[in-house]
């Protein structure tokens, strides 16, 4: 998304063209190769990133901060005392903050707040998760799948569990890149009809395949993916959710019904014993640590892609 000031933001997967996702992957591959060779690539020297988080985070926060350091820039993790939404009008907060920094990573409860924030911003805004979606996660996930299998062609992703922020972005990334996606989700936790319509508009050609039978969903799947049943902010519903999702656990019996080469993925943090067993997440098919590691590399691609107008050599 490019706003009126000509600044590029990354708020949703939906806002990206397939070629833009490919370009972010290309940058991420290049930067990961340099990092593997031990090369320091200070292409963001002098650039500053601010991080504003309304919810906890390990992966998103640390991978963005490490990415910025490894690219020669700096990052500022802003605490509550900066007063987002409390001390002054949001438009004043954003317009002032953007006088100091080049990019802002924002994790918020309310997606509309992130959109409003970006509408005032003259620095690039990256959505680091909202209740609606988690674009950086989904991009890193498809990057990881492509890296693991060597191609996205021939892959089939089965998502088991809640139709939440992570599932929405993953499904949208699959729609854009034409990767077959099927989900097993209880009826009350599925995507809205409006979101399914958006998926179809964005390339999910057969429509969304959704079932309440996890065994059916994983048949012939090369990726079995799950996320927590209770997301951050939904803790008061956790007992009900534990009951509603009880048959949606990814365990050894379910994994055995996927394709023989299937991998297990989870955005983490995991609630072991709920959506996934220890045997699966720690087992031979699990690539969750490679997946988490790739947040660093993929987000370098995002940072360079967003700021590339400032970087002639990329
Ligand atoms: N997967 C993910 O975004 O993790 P954090 O909540 O730790 O950032
Ligand atoms: N669905 C989870 C994802 C955490 C990365 C949550 O929103 O809490």
Q: What is the mean pLDDT of each run of 10 residues along the chain (314 residues)?
A: 74 98 98 97 96 98 98 96 94 97 98 98 98 98 98 97 98 97 98 97 91 98 98 98 98 98 98 98 98 98 90 63
> What does the block give as tokens for 182?
């099927």
Nearby residues of 250 by Cβ (< 8 Å), 6 or more positions away: 160, 161, 214, 224, 226, 264, 275, 276, 277, 280
Mutate to test the pocket of ligand 1, among 60, 109, 144, 226 (most ligand atoms within 8 A of CB): 60
> What's the pLDDT at 31?
98
> What's the pLDDT at 56?
97
> What's the pLDDT at 207?
80
Ligand 1 pocket check for 129: Cβ under 6 Å: yes
Which of 9, 47, 59, 107 is the catalytic position? 107
> What's the pLDDT at 275?
98
> What's the pLDDT at 302?
98
Ligand 1 pocket check for 57: Cβ under 6 Å: yes
Helix axes 59-70, 288-307, angle to 10 degrees: 50
Task: Please say whether the beta carbons of 101 and 76 come within 8 A.
Answer: yes
Ligand 2 pocket check for 136: Cβ under 6 Å: no
Task: Please say whether the beta carbons of 241 and 229 come within 8 A.
Answer: yes
Label each residue of the chain as H, E or C: CECCCCCECECCCCCCCHHHHHHHHHHHHHHHHHHHCCCCCCCCCCCEEEEEECCCCCHHHHHHHHHHHHCCCEEEEECHHHCCCCCCCHHHHHHHHCCCCCEEEEECCCHHHHHHHHHHCCCEEEECCCCCCCHHHHHHHHHHHHHHHCCCCCCCEEEECCCCHHHHHHHHHHHHHCCCEEEECCHHHCCCHHHHHHHHHCCCCCCCEEECCHHHHHCCCCEEEECCCCCCCCHHHHHHHHHHCHHHCECHHHHCCCCCCCEEEECCCCCECCCECHHHHCCCCECHHHHHHHHHHHHHHHHHHHHHHHCCCC
> What's the pLDDT at 308?
83
Q: Decide if 65 is catalytic.
A: no
Taking CA atoms only, the protein residue closest to ligand 1 atom 4 is: 59
Ligand 2 pocket check for 131: Cβ under 6 Å: no
> What's the pLDDT at 1?
65
Ligand 1 pocket check for 12: Cβ under 6 Å: no
> What's the pLDDT at 39?
96
> What's the pLDDT at 135?
98
Which of 137, 155, 249, 299 is the catalytic position? 137
Rounded Cα gap, residues 36 and 310, in angstroms: 25
Q: Decide if 36 is catalytic.
A: no
> What's the pLDDT at 312?
59
């Amino acid at each position: 998304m490019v706003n009126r000031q000509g600044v590029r933001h990354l708020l949703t997967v939906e806002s990206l063209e397939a070629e833009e996702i490919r370009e972010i992957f290309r940058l991420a591959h290049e930067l990961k190769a340099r990092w593997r060779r031990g090369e320091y690539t200070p292409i963001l020297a002098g650039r500053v990133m601010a991080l504003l988080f309304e919810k906890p985070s390990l992966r998103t926060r640390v991978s963005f901060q490490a990415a910025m350091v490894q690219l020669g820039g700096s990052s500022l993790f802003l605490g509550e005392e900066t007063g987002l939404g409390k001390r002054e009008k949001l438009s004043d907060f954003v317009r002032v903050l953007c006088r100091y920094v080049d990019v802002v990573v924002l994790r918020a409860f309310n997606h509309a707040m992130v959109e409003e924030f970006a509408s005032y911003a003259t620095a690039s805004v990256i959505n680091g998760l909202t209740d609606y979606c988690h674009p950086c996660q989904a991009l890193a996930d498809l990057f990881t799948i492509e890296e693991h299998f060597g191609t996205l062609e021939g892959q089939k992703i089965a998502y088991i569990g809640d139709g939440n922020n992570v599932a929405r972005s993953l499904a949208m990334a699959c729609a854009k890149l034409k990767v077959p996606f099927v989900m097993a989700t209880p009826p009350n936790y599925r995507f809205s009809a409006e979101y399914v319509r958006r998926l179809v508009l964005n390339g999910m050609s057969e429509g969304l395949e959704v079932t309440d039978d996890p065994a059916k969903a994983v048949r012939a799947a090369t990726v079995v993916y799950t996320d927590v049943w209770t997301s951050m902010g939904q803790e008061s519903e956790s007992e009900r959710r534990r009951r509603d999702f009880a048959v949606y656990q990814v365990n050894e019996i379910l994994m055995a019904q996927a394709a023989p080469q299937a991998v297990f993925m989870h955005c983490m943090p995991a609630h072991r014993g709920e959506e996934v067993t220890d045997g699966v997440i720690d087992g031979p098919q699990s690539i969750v640590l490679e997946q988490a590691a790739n947040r660093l590399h993929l987000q370098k691609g995002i940072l360079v892609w967003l700021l590339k107008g400032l970087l002639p050599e990329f």
